[in-house]
Amino acid sequence: MTAITLPGKDGGTEKYLVGSTSPFPAKATGAFNRIALAAAHVVADPGAMTDPWDTPAIDWDATLAYRRHLIDLGFGVAEAMDTAQRGMGLSWPRSLELIERSLDAVRDLPGAVIASGAGTDQLEPGPGVSIDDVIAAYCEQCAAIEKAGGRIILMASRALAAAATSPDDYVRVYDRILRDVRQPVILHWLGDMFDPALARYWGRADHMAAMEVCLGIIGTNAAKIDGIKISLLDKSKEIVMRRRLPEGVRMYTGDDFDYAEMIEGDEMGHSDALLGIFDAIAPAASAALSALAEKDTRRFHDILAPTVALSRHIFCAPTRYYKTGIVFMAYLNDHQNHFTMVGGQQSARSITHFAQLFVLADKANLLTDPVRAVSRMKTVLALHGMTG
C-alpha cells in the first residue's frame, strides 16, 4: 500500500494508506435498464497563448476522448451543460463548437447518445432584455443544435429569470419553444443552490408552488417533452413530481445526493438519470447500473454507497463549485495530465477539500492507478506549500 501525508480538518496532518486499484471495468458489461446521461466536463488547454479567464482554450483531443470513455461505459452524454462550465467560462459560440465536435466524434460509435444544452447565455441578463429576446435566444440555440443533428436539453435561463414578472412569462416562453422543436426535449430545472441567478424559477420562490407552474407547462406540451431533470438536491420533491408527470414523460434525477435511491425507485416508479457526478464515478456507476439491470439491487447499492459520500463532498456548499472536484477526479485518474480549468476554477476549493476528496475517492474504489494518483496528489500539495 502507498502512503501519503494529507492535511486534516483541524489544521494538522495525517498519514493515509491508499487502497487497491479500482476493480471496475473500463467498458460496460451489460445493457442498463435505466437511461443514464453523464454531464461531461471540458478539459482546458493550459499551454494556449490566451487569457485563461476571458478567452479560455480547450484541449479538444482530451475533451472528446473523455466523451468516448463515458460512452464506452454505457452512458449517454449530456453536452455543454453546467458541468462543462456553460455560462461560467464557456460561452455560447464555444459551446456550439463543443456540441458540433462531440456529435462528429461519436458518429462511428453505434448507439451513442448525445443530448446538448440549449439556453440563452448569448444574452446578458438585465433590464433591457425582454421576453421576446429570451424567446429569440432560445430559438437560435435550439435551431443550431438541431442543424448539427443533436437532441436538445432545454436549460434554465438566467435571462428569463431576470426578465419574467410572473409565471405567465414562463408559460409563454416554454410553450413557444416547445411548439417548434423537431423531437422531444429534456427540460432542466436547475436550483439556485447550483446557480443563484436562477432563484424564483417558474415565477415562484417556493419550490412546490414553482412545481405547479412547471407541471402545467409539461401537461400542455407532453408530446414535445421526453422528460425533465430537476436539480434541487431534495429527493422528496423529486418523488412528488415524478408521481405527477404525464404518462410517457420521464423523470431524470439530478439529485447528486440521493441518486442511488432515486434510480432504484419504488413501487410507484423510478427516475432515470442525468447527473454531473456520473462524470467522476463513471466506472462504478456503470457497474452498478449493470447490476441493477440484472436485478441485483444489493450489489447496485454496495457499489454506489461509497460514491454517494464522495458526491456529497464534491457537491457541498457552495454547490456551484462542484465542477472543481469533477475535474480533479479526471486529473487523478489520468484523463488529463494537468489540473487546470476553464476560468481558473481549480482555485475554487481548498487543499483540505481536495485531500478529503482524495480519501473518499479511494474508499469508493475509484482510483484506477493508486501510485499515479498519489504522485498527482503530492504535486497539488506541493503547489500549496505542503509535502505529502
SS3 38: strand
pLDDT-above-90 percentage for the chain: 93
Q: What is the pLDDT of residue 7?
A: 95
For 2-383, give the CATH class.
alpha beta
Dig out the grid coordinates for 19 from the structure: 487502497
Domain residue extents for the chain: 2-383
Q: What is the pLDDT of residue 10?
A: 81
Q: What is the pLDDT of residue 87?
A: 87
Q: What is the pLDDT of residue 9?
A: 79
Q: What is the pLDDT of residue 62?
A: 98
Q: What is the pLDDT of residue 54?
A: 74
Whether a cis peptide bond, with omega within 30° of 0, leads into 318 is yes
- Reported as a single tens digit per residue, the pLDDT across 20-57 is 999 999 999 989 999 999 999 999 999 988 877 778 89
Confidence of residue 359 (pLDDT cuts 50, 70, 90): very high
Q: Does residue 387 surpass a pLDDT of 90?
A: no
**Contact between residue 229 and residue 189 where contact means Cβ atoms under 8 Å apart:** yes
Q: Does residue 160 surpass a pLDDT of 90?
A: yes
In 3D, which of 221, 243, 231 has the Cα closest to residue 276?
A: 231
- Reported as a single tens digit per residue, the pLDDT across 280-316 is 999 999 999 999 999 999 999 999 999 999 999 999 9
Residues 6+ apart with CB under 8 A from 34: 263, 270, 272, 273, 289, 292, 293
Q: Does residue 207 surpass a pLDDT of 80?
A: yes
CA pseudo-torsion sign 328, 232, 303, 70: negative
77 DSSP 8-state letter: E
